[in-house]
Amino acid sequence: MEKLRRLVNQIAHTPKSQSLTPLSPLHLSLIPLLLLSSSLYKTIISLRHSLYHFGLVSKHRLPVPVISVGNLTWGGNGKTPMVEFVANWLVNDVGVSPLVLTRGYGGADEARMLRRHFNGTSVKIGVGANRAAIAASILHRHGFIKPLDIACFEKLVPKTRVVSDKIGVAILDDGMQHIRVLRDLEIVMVNALSPWGNLHLIPYGPLREPLTSFDRADAVVIHHADMVSDESLSEIESKILDMNQFISIYRSAMTPAHFFKASNVSCQLHLGVIFEKIVLCVSAIGSPNSFVQKISKMGALYVDRLDYSDHHQFQDEDIKMIKTRLENLKNKYGSKPTVVVTEKDYDRDSKILGGLDPFEVLVLCCKLQILNHNGCPEDSFKMLLTRSLS
């Protein structure tokens, strides 16, 4: 199954501008089936949108403002880091207790990470496919603040930081396709390293919706913008503006903060801990290239990598493969290598990483940062968020 996922992913992310001839016969044999599946998927999503558009299926309005963070392609777009950014802003800057609603896809690793990060705060996390029902249950249990009351929060924040434990805003994680819940702000994340692949819908391409869906968005954030050229960013922005000329466009990056030991989450380490060391990056995320590039810039002597499909559940055979790679690196360089994983990989199954003993496993922690672009700094983005609360 993992091999099939890799094949499909390679096909989906081969841009139309590139020839398919470098693909193997096995790749090419899959294309007709993938194209047929994409056509069927397109029919299904068109029918679904029509049902909501003509009122045959009703949308649900929550009693609090809703900020949706989503994407148009699968994996690696920075949705969950943006959700965390918005939740932190609501708690620390606005003084509102947010409710994060996430589907919990892929073993709920992202939900686990959010729960760990917001442990001890007023942020609530709701997990499940029916986010309207989950929201109703949590809002009933904790209570909520009426939207009109939010205007007075700004005056209270400096003294109290958190005005009330009652929920003031809901954040939809991966909310672009969850059209059942009405939202006050639609943020779409785009991966600058691989914005839309071959421009086809899944499974032949990486698109979950056509690019014309940008006309439903209020803002676009181009993620990993620090890792591509200005020319590439301009091309991405031009494509977005072709679909929605009035949309606000921002740029973001993941800034490394520190490491912690997988065996001891409270043991934080400086980024320089891997300087001149042999490192093996192991990840099962949507954008492994961004992860490996960040580690490579930290001064490691040598960086090797093992990439798995997004949300891959590590098995015993994976651990054996990783240990074999580690032993080979140790024999080649004469020193014990260090394993580095992402927080998502850690939270998916922290216990199985213990199977890599006696090799040290470090977890890289990063924070999303809004980059200054065309006179639009982080404060400008926060103003956009503020307007959605009115």
What tokens were used for 317? Answer: 């055979």
Say if 16 falls within a structural domain: no
339 pairs with which residues across the strands?
280, 361
Say if 27 falls within a structural domain: no
What tokens were used for 276? Answer: 């001149």
Peptide bond into 358 cis (omega under 30): yes
pLDDT at 159: 47
Is there a single domain that holds both residue 89 and residue 229? yes
Q: How far lies 53's CA from each of 31, 47, 58, 143, 209, in Å?
A: 32, 10, 9, 31, 16
Q: Distance from CA of residue 331 to its chain's centroid?
A: 36
Is there a single domain that holds both residue 230 and residue 138? yes
pLDDT at 107: 60
Look up residue 83 and give its amino acid.
V
Q: Is the Cβ–Cβ distance between 171 and 101 less than 8 Å?
A: yes
Is there a single domain that holds both residue 192 and residue 240? yes
| Residue 24: DSSP 8-state | -
Per-residue pLDDT of the chain (390 residues; tens, 9 = 90+): 677 777 788 788 877 666 555 667 877 788 899 999 999 999 999 999 999 988 899 999 999 999 999 999 987 899 999 999 999 999 998 889 999 999 877 567 899 999 999 999 999 999 998 999 999 999 999 999 876 555 555 554 444 454 578 999 999 999 999 999 999 999 999 999 999 989 999 999 999 999 999 999 999 999 999 999 999 999 999 999 999 999 999 999 999 999 999 999 999 999 999 999 999 999 999 889 999 999 999 999 999 999 998 888 899 999 999 999 999 999 999 999 999 999 999 999 888 888 899 999 999 999 999 998 876 678 999 999 998 887
Is there a single domain that holds both residue 242 and residue 260? no
* List of residues 6+ apart from 127 with CB closer than 8 A: 102, 103, 104, 108, 111, 134
CB atoms within 10 A of CB 382: 16
Which CATH number characterizes residue 374's domain?
3.40.50
Is there a single domain that holds both residue 215 and residue 269? no
Measured distance CA(295)–CA(276) in Å, rounded? 12
Look up residue 130 and give its amino acid.
N
Measured distance CA(374)–CA(115) in Å, rounded? 35
Total-model pTM: 0.91
Is there a single domain that holds both residue 261 and residue 243? no
pLDDT at 237: 97
Residue with tokens 């705060």: 121
| Residue 150: DSSP 8-state | G
* List of residues 6+ apart from 227 with CB closer than 8 A: 192, 193, 253, 290, 293
Say if 320 falls within a structural domain: yes
Report the domain count for the chain.
2
The per-residue b/e assignment along 25-48, b for 16 or more CB within 10 angstroms, e otherwise, is eebeebeeebeeebeebbeebeee
Is there a single domain that holds both residue 210 and residue 284? no
Measured distance CA(353)–CA(314) in Å, rounded? 9
Measured distance CA(278)–CA(357) in Å, rounded? 16
Is there a single domain that holds both residue 186 and residue 233? yes
Is there a single domain that holds both residue 221 and residue 328? no
Say if 60 falls within a structural domain: no
For residue 85, what is the enclosing H or E element?
helix 79-89
Q: Is the Cβ–Cβ distance between 285 and 345 less than 8 Å?
A: yes
Q: What angle do CA 107, 110, 111 make, to 5 degrees?
A: 85
Got the DSSP string for 214-268? GGG-SEEEEETGGGS-HHHHHHHHHHHHHH-TT-EEEEEEEEEEEEEETTEEEEE
* Sign of the Cα pseudo-torsion (266, 78, 125, 309, in order): negative
Is there a single domain that holds both residue 232 and residue 335? no
Is there a single domain that holds both residue 130 and residue 178? yes
For residue 118, give its domain range.
Answer: 66-253+369-388
Look up residue 227 and give its amino acid.
M
Is there a single domain that holds both residue 105 and residue 165? yes
Measured distance CA(331)–CA(337) in Å, rounded? 10
Say if 144 falls within a structural domain: yes
Say if 169 falls within a structural domain: yes
Measured distance CA(23)–CA(7) in Å, rounded? 9
For residue 12, what is the enclosing H or E element?
helix 2-12
- For residue 281, which of 236, 342, 330, 228 has the smallest C-alpha distance? 342
